A = this chain, B = another copy of it.
């Protein structure tokens, strides 16, 4: 009698998992191989099985009941841990970046580990004006030569500034190259791909987490034109992966693991901008592929905990969640919508240009010799950035300090040059009336410097995004914006000699427009912007700018920067945003095509063990359809290559009488065999009895829709019940690339 590999109950769901039966025969065999896509439907089904098992066991004893409760709450526990760790890491990164950025200019004598700002807090002079001049803080020239002013001191400071920047950048790129090559870049394109169901082992590993955190600090401190926001999403996802491996519910199910990662991405954005709701929306709109409502609530919780942890660490010293808290008191007027929409147009154009230029440069890096010298490239970009940045005060300081100054409304006590309005000598007006005063000479100087800074940043960011250090885009592209308010406001808008519009608001709207143009986010962008700045009153301007910039950007090309990088790298990402509108049918896409060898199939009762082993050896397909007979070609199921290999190996080792000549049976009933025949092998338990099928007449748009919504890995094609062929996700992606006149072989896939 054949050995029963499985209890009858196991078979019900059609995907009986033989792994539970062999007592871990081969350690470290995971369900999917590296660079493979997952089958969402199968993962979901496995999770439901797990649930059922736990639910039925929980009635057995109190201990099992407790375990089932723990299992039910493990999702929330993971969220809590992710929130705590990513909040803590974000706080540490913020503090470290502050300190190291200031280290390029000088050092705090009273305590070496204080940043410039912290150093001067401890001093008694607390007004903003004296911030730069507190005695404990010494620039390098002061420390080394005793001179704070003069050409010599300037050159020495300049030289040391560049040297520190180069040192930080070199350290960052070396660490990345030696320890964790996946730690470079913003990580968001890869995370999008992973969340869509692709396996990239190690991309979210512990080493990547550690190295990314360290090199992120170094890269940002080196003054490169990159932000820490995108990488923080990667860091948070690494945390998510780390903690999900603690619970078998998530570690053994790639589908459930992706739910955790979606929530972790939300936590990452939450701490990057202090915008918990924006983070959830970002995860929903931009990053995630499969985002059930349950994940929405979990993400919400993770984002909350992360923001809260960051607030407790309080890296900005203002007890607020947000980095650039601003409070504007001036309302905006209807007519101002025109400049806001113009800012949106600018943002859209800039975004489209940036994407094209950056992709062109990255393609060049990939295809020419340039790509072979990543360290040199980083050093070169850093050197250029540092050399050009130092003379201009707006580029010298850290980007986020600049942004917070630009976003701010001018107050009467502000020493910023942007706020250098001519003081009314009579002082009859109330203090918040500054915008009505005529602009002073400082304002005009500031405008020139800002304009130069803008041009410099535009150019350098194109070359920076994509180099081999952790790099984010958010802050640099937000930075693009501040500069426009100048032209629009001071020149055109108001009556001559008096400036009447809040520049900070224009900076904010401009930032939203530029970010929108680059990333093509809409709702999440607006929410992030107004959570970031506290400017709730300005939803309408922000929305107007964001929608305009998206429209304008889309007119030049529908992809955002992340999709463009996904395509550049050939990741197998089935975008849910693109609509497939071509008139092809499943028959045009399936394999085998006309003239190709026939499909490799198994029959339900006509194959021997040897045949199967040969088939496995000769082909590299992930699975094989099983048909009634080669003549009728009626489909009965689908068997995974991995399961087949394991089952035969196991049967040969443990089951007596199974030899090469044994017939493999996928049928329910076994025929009575004469005793001369070798012992047959019954493998119905590993047969997926509910493979997904479509007919050959199904339009490809429907097939694409099914692949997207159900997250299939493959789909069988039939005509009136006969098996005709198979369509894999790779076939779908290739077909889509072909239809868009792209090289179908550019898609990386196994």
Residues of chain A touching chain B, judged by Cβ–Cβ distance below 8 Å, are 12-14, 41, 44-45, 48, 51-52, 55, 276-277, 280-281, 285, 292-294, 296-297, 300-301, 304, 307-308, 311-312, 319-321, 331, 334, 522-523, 526-527, 530-531, 534, 536-537, 539-540, 543-544, 547, 550, 576-577, 579, 581, 583, 585-586, 628, 632, 634-637, 689-691, 693-695, 697-699, 701-702, 705-706, 709-710, 718-722
Are B581 and A51 touching (Cβ within 8 A)? Answer: yes
Q: Is the CB of B710 within 8 A of A547?
A: no
* Interface residues of A, dominant DSSP: helix
Q: Which residues of B contact A581 (CB under 8 A)?
A: 48, 51-52, 55
B307 near A540 with CB under 8 A, answer: yes
Q: Give the residue name and chain of the B residue nearest to A585 (CB).
A: B12
Which residue of chain B lies nearest to A293 when distances are taken between CB atoms in the complex? B577
Contacts of A276 in B (CB 8 A): 539-540, 543
**B689 in contact with A14 (CB, 8 Å):** no
CB distance from A198 to the nearest CB of B (A): 20
Contact for A522 among B44, B300, B585, B636, CB less than 8 A: B300
Q: Which B residues are CB-close (under 8 A) to A312?
A: 334
Contact A277 B539 (CB under 8 A): yes
Q: Are B540's CB and A699's CB within 8 A?
A: no
The complex places the Cα of A585 from the Cα of B15 at a distance, in Å, of 13
CB proximity of A729 to chain B, nearest CB, Å: 16
Contacts of A304 in B (CB 8 A): 539-540, 543-544, 547
A697 lies within 8 A of B540 (CB): no
Give how many copies assemble into the complex: 2
Residues of B within 8 A of A540 (CB): 276, 304, 307-308, 311, 321
Judge whether A634 and B720 touch: CB under 8 Å: yes
- In the complex, which of the residues B13, B536, B720 contacts A721, with contact meaning CB atoms closer than 8 Å? B720
Taking a contact as CB atoms under 8 Å apart, the answer to whether A14 and B697 are in contact is: yes
**11 CB < 8 A contacts A-B:** A12-B699, A14-B699, A41-B702, A300-B547, A304-B544, A312-B334, A531-B536, A534-B536, A536-B536, A628-B720, A636-B719
Do A277 and B635 contact each other (CB < 8 Å), given the known contacts A296-B285, A690-B695?
A: no
Contacts of A720 on B, CB cut-off 8 Å?
628, 634-636, 721
Give min CB distance, A724 to chain B, whole Å: 11
Given A634-B720, A710-B706, A45 contacting B701 (CB threshold 8 A): yes
Known contacts: A296-B285, A635-B720, A722-B721. The answer to whether A690 contacts B701 by CB under 8 A is no
* Among A45, A52, A699, residue most surrounded by chain B Cβ atoms (within 10 Å): A699
CB distance from A91 to the nearest CB of B (A): 16
**A296: contacting residue among B319, B523, B693, B695, CB under 8 A:** B523
B residues near A55, Cβ cutoff 8 Å: 581
Other CB < 8 Å A-B pairs besides A44-B705, A276-B539, 4 of them?
A: A319-B331, A531-B539, A636-B719, A689-B698
Cβ of A523 and Cβ of B14 under 8 Å apart? no
Q: Which residue of B lies closest to A719 (CB)?
A: B636
State whether B14 touches A300 (Cβ < 8 A). no
Residue of B nearest to A41 (CB): B702
State the Cβ distance, A262 to closest chain B Cβ, in Å.
Answer: 14
Nearest chain-B residue to A699 (Cβ)?
B13
Q: Which residues of B contact A706 (CB under 8 A)?
A: 710
A539 B321 Cβ-Cβ under 8 A = yes
Query: How distant is A551 from chain B, measured CB to nearest CB, in Å?
Result: 9
Other-chain residue from B293, B531, B543 in contact with A300 (beta carbon distance below 8 A): B543
A547 surroundings in chain B (CB, below 8 A): 297, 300-301, 304
Alpha-carbon separation in the docked complex, A281 to B526 (Å): 13
With a cutoff of 8 Å between Cβ atoms, the chain B residues found around residue A527 in the complex are 277, 527
Report whether A583 and B12 are in contact in the complex, using a CB–CB cutoff of 8 Å: yes
Determine the chain B residues whose CB is within 8 A of the CB of A334 once the complex forms: 312
A186 to B720, CA, bound (A): 48
Cα of A280 to Cα of B523 in the assembled complex, Å: 9
Cα-based distance from A281 to B511 in the complex (angstroms)? 23
Q: Give the CA-CA distance A321 to B706 in the complex, in Å.
A: 42
Contacts of A45 in B (CB 8 A): 699, 701-702
Distance (Å) between the CB of A73 and the closest chain B CB?
10
Q: B695 to A691, Cβ gap below 8 A? A: yes
Least Cβ distance of A635 to chain B in Å?
A: 6
Closest CB-CB distance, A585 to chain B, in whole Å? Answer: 7
Task: Tell me, in angstroms, the Cα distance from A331 to B334 when the chains sit together.
Answer: 33
**Other-chain residue from B12, B698, B722 in contact with A690 (beta carbon distance below 8 A):** B698
Q: How far is the CA of A67 from the CA of B512 in the complex (A)?
A: 33
Alpha-carbon gap, A628 to B722, bound state (A): 12
> Measured between alpha carbons, how far is A719 from B718 in the docked complex, in Å?
13
State A540–B628 Cα separation when bound (angstroms): 60
- For A294, the closest partner residue in chain B by CB is B577
Shortest A632–chain B CB gap in Å is: 8
Q: Across the two chains, which residue of chain B brings its CB closest to A721?
A: B721
Residues of chain B within 8 A (CB-CB) of A523 are 277, 280, 296-297, 300
Chain B residue nearest in CB terms to A331: B319
**What residues of B have a CB within 8 angstroms of the CB of A693 in the complex?**
693
A280 CB to closest chain B CB (Å) equals 6
A319 to B537, CA, bound (A): 11
What chain B residues lie within 8 Å of A526 (beta carbons)?
A: 277, 300
For the complex, give the distance between the alpha carbons of A609 and B134 in Å.
98
Instruction: Report A643 CB to chain B, min CB distance, Å.
Output: 16
CB-based contact B705/A41 at 8 Å: yes
Q: Which residue of B lies closest to A710 (CB)?
A: B709
Residues of B within 8 A of A277 (CB): 523, 526-527, 539
Closest CB of chain B to A13's CB: distance in Å?
Answer: 5
Q: Which residue of B lies closest to A698 (CB)?
A: B690
A290 to chain B, nearest CB (A): 10
What is the CA–CA distance of A718 and B722 in the complex, to the nearest angstrom?
A: 12
Given A52-B581, A585-B12, residue A576 in contact with residue B293 (CB < 8 A): yes
Q: With A and B bound together, what is the CA distance between A331 and B720 in angstroms?
A: 69
Q: In the complex, which residue of chain B has the Cβ closest to the Cβ of A540?
A: B308
The chain B residue with its CB closest to the CB of A55 is: B581
Instruction: Write the nearest CB–CB distance from A555 to chain B, whole angstroms.
Output: 12
Shortest beta-carbon distance, A370 to chain B, in Å? 36
Question: Which residues of B sit under 8 angstroms from A301, Cβ to Cβ?
Answer: 543, 547
CB distance from A639 to the nearest CB of B (A): 14
Q: Give the 3 A-B residue pairs with the shortest CB-CB distance, closest first.
A: A721-B721, A689-B697, A690-B698
- How far apart sit A321 and B536, CA to CA, in the bound complex (Å)? 10
CB-defined contacts of A701 to chain B, threshold 8 Å: 44-45, 48
Give the chain B neighbours of A294 by CB distance below 8 A.
577
CB distance from A384 to the nearest CB of B (A): 38
A550 close to B297 (CB less than 8 A)? yes
A673 and B496 CA atoms in complex are apart in Å by 91
Are A52 and B690 in contact (CB-based, < 8 A)?
Answer: no
Q: CB-CB < 8 A to A308: which residues of B?
A: 540
Residues in B with CB closer than 8 Å to A721 are 632, 634-635, 718, 720-722
